[in-house]
Structure 1
Amino acid sequence: MSYDCVIIGGGIAGLQAGIMLGRYQHRVLLIDSGKGRSNLCRKYNNIIGFPDGVSGPELRHAGVKQARSFGVETLESKVVDVHSNFIIETAEGKSIDTQTVLFATGIEENFPPILGMKECLGLSIYVCPDCDGYEIIGQKTAVIGSGETGAGLAIALKDWSEEIIFFNHGGAPVSLEMQGELRERRILVQQTEVDRFVHNGGLLEAIETAGDHRWDIDKAFLAFGGNRVQSDLAVKLGAEATDKGHLLVNPRTKMTNIDGIWAAGDVVDHTQFVTTAMGEGAQASVWIHKWLKGTR
């Protein structure tokens, strides 16, 4: 079967695009490997209509159900190649023909394997200060990061909390200038690795570091940098990207430099808000529809 659009990536951007394209009554297939970063978040706190927050898996489950209600087909698989004739190959050897492709492949987080971390993501451990800085007001907060990236976030978080401890996990170097700013902002720095997050149902209670030291902590942020933008397939196809791997798109249509190939969500260089991903998915779908109907 030939599709009007294949969406690669079933996260927030991909699902929003799928819902819109389904409502346009296009033949749509959404392929997802099940490993997207929104699967990790136990709670998004800043989405309109969810004053008590909503988890990534809950949002995705509702999105899949909604997309299917409009005729969107879903396939759990990994795409291994996209050919210039718009034939998509999956890990199982399946070939899929489509007129257009939307890359909503997102970012792979660079998280170290610290015990207890995944259970707390979005509940008491965060990654985005713009999204969740509010959550640490009046809370004793740890930043577990690497070198300059971690130090910079620790300094930024002083806007919300006076009690910040920076754990330089791995001991990457911090510039003298940054060290001075950490001292000036009265941020305690510990050159030690974090072994475990102690929590109760995802609510952080303490951090255990090398040498069996325990630090009572209310909240934490992760800041390691080095996240991998999952744009390899699009770049191989000839899509232009930034030095960091983010796909370049037309700001109005979200189409890449390749006619018939779009990108939306975190694979594009933007704020990485889940709400922005929703908007980009919807925006891309409008222009995919126009392209398919020849009205662009």
Structure 2
Amino acid sequence: MDFDVIIIGGSYAGLSAALTLGRSTRNVLVIDAGRPCNRQTPHSHNFLTHDGDKPADIANTARAEVLKYPTVRFLEGKAILARQIDGGFSIGVENAGNFTARKILLATGLKDVLPNIKGLADCWAISAIHCPYCHGYEVRNEKIGLLMNDDHAFEMAKNLHLWNKDLTILTNGKSKLSTEHAEKLRSKSIIIIEDEVVELLHNNGYLEYVVFKNGKKIALKAIYVKPDVEQHCNFNEQLGFELTDLKTIKVDEQQQSTAKGIYAAGDCATLFRSLSIITAAGTMAAVVMNKEMISEDF
């Protein structure tokens, strides 16, 4: 085998795992395509010692730390093929060939699939946000929108009411809220607008107005969005591990997938996308993989 472990994805979970494995003297290849999901995010929050830092700065510092360990190698490229072979796995990288390893860690993140609304992609992760624990403090006490419908809109509005009292739910079409939930929301002075959203007017990603199909618009400081998600790679089809109903890779508490020798950590395996959570998951996966190899070799 070329390596003990191949890590596909060189962001926080992948780097955390690479650090642990490097310190365990394991030969590791980290393959990274260089397009993290938070590449538009100006600042990361709720991550000890890095609160308010730029995500790219955190990743660059982490990468420099990992590269101090001589058994860890980085390869910039896109993994496009994965298959099981005798004793491990073979990973094909676009324009770089094939590499083999005893174990693989998928840290490939998730692809956010946003509603087709003009301006939304430009605002994503800047003023179109998804998590109050990551972004809520910076827009507290402001006029905020929720681009969502049904029970999720109710639960999110209930949570956000701690940070923002001036809330508007944009159902982007006919409301699917129950009568009970709608009445409860209105009792808290939360507005519900059913008009179709056609555009977000913004200044370099910072939201100014939401424009509706009927021509009306409202001023908002930020808007919470619940995007659909997809895996970046179809490795579940190539390697035979399972996905959950939420489209994340199904793992146990030790980050083991449903296929032996294949682990997953980070956004690809959870919708709780906090940096502290996903870096811890990378460490856990690395420890368990290392322990498994020790048992195999002893």
> TM-score with structure 2 length normalisation?
0.85
Which stretch shows the higher mean deviation, 280-289 or 267-276? 267-276
* Kept after mapping to 2: 8 A contact 1:36/1:108: no
Equivalents in 2 of 1:184, 1:119: separation in Å? 34
Structure 2 counterpart of 1:272: 273
* Kept after mapping to 1: 8 A contact 2:42/2:54: yes
The offset of 1:9, in angstroms, is 1.6
Structure 1 counterpart of 2:57: 58
The offset of 1:200, in angstroms, is 4.2
> How do 1:185-196 and structure 2 match up within 5 A?
185-196=188-199
The one-letter amino acid of 1:219's match is A
The offset of 1:143, in angstroms, is 1.3
Structure 1 counterpart of 2:282: 281
The one-letter amino acid of 1:139's match is E
Structure 2 counterpart of 1:97: 100
Structure 2 counterpart of 1:112: 115
SS of structure 2 residue aligned to 1:37? coil
Equivalents in 2 of 1:142, 1:8: separation in Å? 36
4+ long deviations beyond 6 Å: none
| Shift in alpha-carbon separation, 1:35–1:177, aligned structure 2, 3 A | farther
**Deviation digits for residues 66-90 of structure 1 (CA, Å, limit 9, x no counterpart):** 3233243222332222111101123
Equivalents in 1 of 2:173, 2:33: separation in Å? 31
SS of structure 2 residue aligned to 1:39? coil
Say which of 149, 161, 164 aligns to 2:164. Answer: 161
Equivalents in 2 of 1:175, 1:40: separation in Å? 35
Equivalents in 2 of 1:144, 1:74: separation in Å? 39
Equivalents in 2 of 1:163, 1:178: separation in Å? 17
Say which of 225, 241, 244 aligns to 1:242. Answer: 244
Structure 2 counterpart of 1:124: 127
Gap runs ≥5 in structure 2: none
The offset of 1:171, in angstroms, is 4.8
Equivalents in 2 of 1:221, 1:97: separation in Å? 42
Equivalents in 1 of 2:196, 2:43: separation in Å? 26
| Shift in alpha-carbon separation, 1:143–1:170, aligned structure 2, 3 A | same
Structure 2 counterpart of 1:69: 68
Q: Is 1:220 the counterpart of 2:210 in the alignment?
A: no
Structure 2 counterpart of 1:180: 183
The one-letter amino acid of 2:229's match is N
| Shift in alpha-carbon separation, 1:294–1:117, aligned structure 2, 3 A | same
SS of structure 1 residue aligned to 2:288? helix
Gap runs ≥5 in structure 1: none
> TM-score with structure 1 length normalisation?
0.85
Equivalents in 2 of 1:67, 1:116: separation in Å? 37
> How do 1:22-37 and structure 2 match up within 5 A?
22-37=22-37
* Kept after mapping to 1: 8 A contact 2:83/2:238: no
* Kept after mapping to 1: 8 A contact 2:80/2:233: no
**Deviation digits for residues 128-175 of structure 1 (CA, Å, limit 9, x no counterpart):** 133333333211111123454345423431222110011223557444
Q: Could you say what the CA RMSD is over the residues aligned between the two structures, in angstroms? A: 2.8
Equivalents in 2 of 1:231, 1:202: separation in Å? 28
* Kept after mapping to 2: 8 A contact 1:103/1:234: no
Equivalents in 2 of 1:114, 1:17: separation in Å? 37
Which stretch shows the higher mean deviation, 86-95 or 114-123? 114-123
| Shift in alpha-carbon separation, 1:145–1:34, aligned structure 2, 3 A | farther
Q: Is 1:39 the counterpart of 2:42 in the alignment?
A: no
The one-letter amino acid of 2:287's match is V
